[in-house]
Amino acid sequence: MQTPSIITMQSLSKFYEMGDQTVRALDSINLDFRKNDYTAIMGPSGSGKSTLMNILGCLDTPTSGIYELNGQDVATMDDDELARIRNKEIGFVFQTFNLLPRLNCLRNVELPLIYAGVAPEEREERASKALINVGLGDRIKHKPAELSGGQIQRVAIARALINNPSIILADEPTGNLDTTTSHDIMNIFGKLSEAGNTIILITHEEDIAHYTRRMIRLRDGKIESDVRR
Amino acid sequence: MKLTNRQFRYETGESLKMALFQIRANKIRSFLTALGVIIGIVAITMMGTAINGIDRGFDKSLAMLGYDVIYVQKSSWSTMGQWWRYRNRPDIKTAYAEQINRIITENPRSELAIAVPQSSTYQASAKYRDRNLEQVFALGTNHNYLQTAPGELSSGRFFTAGEAASDEMVCVVGDDIASSLFPNEPVLGKSVQLKNRKFRVIGIFRKQGKFLGLFSFDNQIIVPLGAFERVYGKNMFSSIRVKMKEQTHVIEAKEELLGLMRRIRRIVPGKEEDFSINEQRAFKSQLDPIKNGIALAGIFITGMSLFVGAIGIMNITFVSVKERTREIGLRKALGARQQTILMQFLIESVMICLIGGVIGLGITFFITFSIGQLFPSLPIHFSFDLVFASLAVSVITGVVSGLAPAISASKLDPADSLRYE
Ligand SMILES: Nc1ncnc2c1ncn2[C@@H]1O[C@H](COP(=O)(O)OP(=O)(O)O)[C@@H](O)[C@H]1O
Ligand SMILES: [Mg+2]
C-alpha cells in the first residue's frame, strides 16, 4: 500500500504577462508528493523552481490547473484561509532574509505561534525547545546580527518546524553557506526526514541534491526528469 | 470566535512591540514626523486652556454677584455701551423693592424670594483723619442685602433691620478700605467720613478679589439706604436686587419680575417696557466673540498643523512599507493575515501620533504652568478634558494618516514582496 499524497498538482501552469510576451514559468506540471518524501527540485536559473515553491507554499496561486494540499483545493481558498495554511501546514526556509533583524532568535521563532494565537508562556516554551533541537540552546536571546549564516538557517529551520507543518519548503537554504556549513544544514534536514517530515528543497548544487531521495529537474517550466532513489 | 480573539490580542501585542522598535530605531525621523502633531496638540490645548481660563475667571467673578440674583435696572447689560438708548428712561426707584416684596409674599407660587433696594456711587471718597481714599464704591441698601450678595464678614456684623429703618450712621467696609484707612489699628468702632458725614464701622468684609479683574468688592462701603441718601441725595444710580427661589428657574423668574415691574410702572400691554431685567448670563455672552476668536484661531492652527503632520506621517509610513516589503512578505509566509499587517502599520502611525500628542501636552503643561507661576492672578486652567481630547485627536490623526499605507501593505502579494530587493 502506498502512503497517501499530501500534495497533488495536475496540469498546473503559471504564466507571467510581460508586455506582449507570455513567460511560461510553469507549464502544465503534474506532480505528486507523498508523506515523508524528501525531494530536491533542481534546474538552471529561470527554470521555474522558485515559482513552483511559491505555489507549493500558497504564497502564489497558479494561472491554471489544480493544486490540492491534504485533499483541499487551494484555488477555492480566500486570503485568510491561505494565511492559515501557510501558518499551520507549511514551514518555510528561505535563502536570505529569513529573520527579522530587530527580534532575537526566540522572538523570531515565536512569530508563527503568535499568528496561530498560542499563549505567551506556551510560545516561549515551544520556541526555546525548537531552538535547542537545532543546537542553538545557547543563542536564544541573540539577535540575527550576532549569528553566523549557518546559525541563521538553523533558526529558520527551528521556526519552520514550530507548528508541526505537513511540509517543509526550503528555497536554496544553503545558497549562501560554505561547504562545511551546507553539509551541517543538510544533516539537519536528513534527521528531520528520518523523523518523518516531508521536505521539499530547491537547489542548483548536485551534491546538496544527493542528500535527498527524490530529484525533480525543471527546464523552461517543464519537468525534465523525476527520479526516486 | 475564541481563537481569532486571542490571535488579535497576541498580534496586537506583537505589533505594539514592533512599533516601539521601529520608532526607537528611527528616533529622529519619528520625531520630525510627529512635529506636526506636536504643534497641533500644543495649539489645541493652549486654545482650550485659554478658553477654560476665561470661563473660569468669569465664573469666579460672577459668583461674586451671586448666581441666584437678577437685577431691575435702567439699562440692559447685554447691550452695554449703548447708554444713549436708555437715556430717556425714568430712574429705578428704591421704593419698588417694597412693592415687589409685598406682591411676592402674597403669591406662594412666586419664583422670587426677596427684593432688596440699592443706590450706589463709584465716585465716593472715604476719609479717616488725614487719610483719604478716592473712587470708593459706596452703596446704600437695607438689612437684607446679604441675602442677595455673597460676602462674609471677617469681623463685626452687618446692620440690623432697626438700624436700616432708622437710617443709623453705620457702615460695613471692604477689606481694602479697612486696611488702607486703618493700617495698624483696630477698625471696628472707628468712624469713616463720606463727604461731611461720619459713619461708625460695625463690620468688615472678608477679602473677595477683583470682579473681572477690574472692579473690586474689597473697595466698598455699605451703609443703610436712608443714610446713603442723606449724604448723596436721592438721585444716585439705583437698582433692585431680586433673589430667586430656584437658581435654575431664571427664565420663569425674569418673566415674573418683568410682569411685576410692568404692573408697578403701569405700562399698558403692547408698550415696550422702560426698564431692564438683568442677569449674569448677559455678561457672559459679551465674552463669546473673544472666545470664538481664540477658538477659531486655535482650530485653524491645529487643523493646519495636523493636516501637514498627517501628510508627513502618511508619507513616512509609505516609505516604511516600502523599506519593509521583504519583512511583510516574510510575515505573510509565516501566517500573518492581511488584517495583521494592516494593524501593524496602523498601530505604528497611531503610536507616532500618540507620542507626538503626549509631547505636545507636556509642552502645553509646561507653558501654562510657567505662565501660572509668573502671573498667579491669571485664571489659567489645564483640564483633563483637554488631555483626553488631544489624545483622541492624536489617535484619529494616526488612523487617518496611517490607513492608506497600511492598506497598501496588507494587500501586498506575498510572493512579490519576498522577491523584492
Ligand atoms: N513576478 C514575475 N513577473 C514576471 N516574470 C516572473 C516573475 N517571477 C518569475 N518570473 C519569470 O518566471 C521564470 C521562472 O522564474 P523563477 O521561478 O524565479 O526561476 P528560478 O527560481 O528557477 O530561477 C523566469 O523567466 C522569471 O523571469
Ligand atoms: Mg529562484
Distance of CA B390 to the CA centre of its chain: 19
- Rounded to an integer, what distance in angstroms lies between the CA atom of residue B417 and that of residue B421? 8
Residues forming beta bridges with residue B364, ordered by sequence position: none
C-alpha cell at B119: 443706590
Radius of gyration of chain B measured on its C-alpha atoms: 33
Fold of A5-228: Rossmann fold (3.40.50)
What pLDDT score was predicted for residue B283?
67
Q: Which residue's alpha carbon is nearest to atom 2 within ligand 1?
A: A16
Q: Judge if the beta carbon of residue A195 lies within 6 A of ligand 1.
A: no
Does residue B175 share a domain with residue B38? no
**Domain-ending residue, one of B279, B295, B311:** B279
| Per-position DSSP letters for B13-43, written without gaps between them | HHHHHHHHHHHHHTHHHHHHHHHHHHHHHHH
Does B333 contact A98 at a Cβ distance shorter than 8 Å?
Answer: no
For B66-99, letters b (16+ CB in 10 Å) and e give: bebbbbbbbbebeeeeeeeeeeeeeebbbebbeb
What residues in chain A have per-residue pLDDT under 70? 1-2
3-state DSSP assignment of residue B93: coil
Residue B167 in contact with residue B153, Cβ under 8 Å?
no
- Expressed in angstroms and rounded, the spacing between residue A120 Cα and the centre of ligand 2 is 35
DSSP label at residue A46: T
Query: Is the CB of residue B200 less than 8 Å away from at least one CB of chain A?
Result: no
Integer angstrom CA distances of residue B131 from A42, B68, B125, B141, B200: 112, 37, 10, 26, 16
Size of interface A-B (CB pairs under 8 A): 76
Tell me if B334 and A118 make a contact (CB, 8 A cut-off): no
Give, using CA atoms, the residue closest to atom 6 of ligand 1. Answer: A16
Looking at the fold, whether B44 and B110 belong to one and the same domain comes out as no
DSSP annotation of A103 reads: S
Contact A168, A161 (CB under 8 A): yes
Same domain, yes or no, for B258 and B344? no
Host domain of residue B159? 67-279
Query: What Cα–Cα distance (Å) separates residue B400 from each residue in A23, B38, B324, B387, B409?
Result: 40, 16, 21, 20, 15
Q: Determine the residue among B2, B320, B334 to mutate to test chain A binding: the one whose Cβ has the most chain A Cβ atoms within 10 Å.
A: B334
pLDDT in tens, chain B (421 residues): 456 788 888 888 888 988 888 888 888 888 888 888 899 889 888 888 888 777 777 777 776 666 788 889 888 876 655 666 777 788 888 889 999 999 999 998 999 999 999 999 988 899 998 899 998 999 999 999 988 887 789 999 999 999 999 999 999 999 999 999 998 889 999 999 999 899 999 999 998 876 655 667 888 999 999 999 999 988 788 999 999 988 778 888 888 999 999 989 898 888 888 888 888 776 666 677 777 888 888 888 888 888 988 998 999 899 999 999 999 999 999 999 999 999 999 999 999 999 999 999 999 989 888 888 887 766 666 778 888 988 999 999 999 999 999 999 999 999 899 888 7
Q: Which residues are A23's β-sheet partners?
A: A16
CB A99 within 8 A of CB A108: yes
**CA nearest to A168, candidates A181, A153, A182, A149:** A153
Asked if B11 and A115 come within 8 Å (Cβ–Cβ), the reply is yes
Q: Do A59 and B335 lie within an 8 Å CB cutoff?
A: no
Calculate how close chain B gets to A26, using CA atoms only, in Å.
15
**Which of these three, B279, B310, B332, is where a domain ends?**
B279
For chain B positions 13-32, those within 8 Å of chain A (CB to CB) are 14, 18, 21-22, 25
Task: For this complex, say whether ipTM is above 0.90.
Answer: yes
Instruction: Rounding to the nearest 10 degrees, give the CA dihedral for residues B261, B266, B267, B268.
Output: 130
How many separate domains does chain B show? Answer: 2
Closest chain B C-alpha to A5 CA, distance in angstroms: 23
Q: What is the pLDDT of residue B228?
A: 94
Handedness of CA B163, B164, B170, B173 (dihedral sign): positive
pLDDT at B85: 72
B227 and B105, same structural domain? yes
Query: How far is it, in rounded angstroms, from Cα A106 to Cα A139?
Result: 9
- Is-contact B369 B48, C-beta < 8 A? no
Confidence at residue B214, expressed as pLDDT on a 0 to 100 scale: 60
Q: Of the candidates B279, B304, B335, which is a domain's last residue?
A: B279
Pair (B219, B80) in one structural domain? yes
pTM over 0.80: no
CB spacing of A116 vs B335 below 8 angstroms? yes
**Cα–Cα distance measured from residue B410 to residue B421, given in angstroms and rounded to the nearest whole number:** 18
Give yes or no for residue A46 CB within 6 A of ligand 1: yes
Amino acid of residue B113: A
User: Which CA distances in Å does B363 have to B39, B356, B368, B382?
Assistant: 9, 11, 9, 12
Distance of alpha carbon B184 from alpha carbon A96, whole angstroms = 90
Q: Are residues B116 and B179 in the same domain?
A: yes
In terms of domains, do B372 and B236 share one?
no
Q: What is the structure's pLDDT at B81?
A: 59
For residues A37 and B116, what is the distance between their CA atoms, to the nearest angstrom?
104
d(CA A175, CA A152) in angstroms, rounded, equals 13
Rg of the Cα atoms in chain A: 17
Tell me the pLDDT tens digit for each residue of A12-40.
999 999 888 999 999 999 999 999 999 99
